[in-house]
Amino acid sequence: MAKYKSLLLPHRWVSAGRVRKCYHSAKHELHKGDSVLEVKVGIGWQGYCRPCGEDMIRAAIEQLNRELSFARESCEVDPGARSHLRGGHDARLDPPRPPRA
- CB-nearer residue toward Zn ion: 20 or 24: 24
Stretch of 4-12, 22-30, 37-45, 93-101 contacting Zn ion, by CB under 5 A: 22-30
50 sits near Zn ion (criterion: CB under 5 A): no
Nearest alpha-carbon partner for 44 in 9, 6, 77, 82 = 9
Among 16, 20, 45, 52, binds Zn ion (CB under 5 A): 52
DSSP letter string, 8-55: SPPEEEEE-SS-EE-SS-TTSEE-TT-EEEEEEETTEEEEEEHHHHHH
Q: Can you give the binding site for Zn ion, defined by CB under 5 A?
A: 22, 24, 28, 49, 52
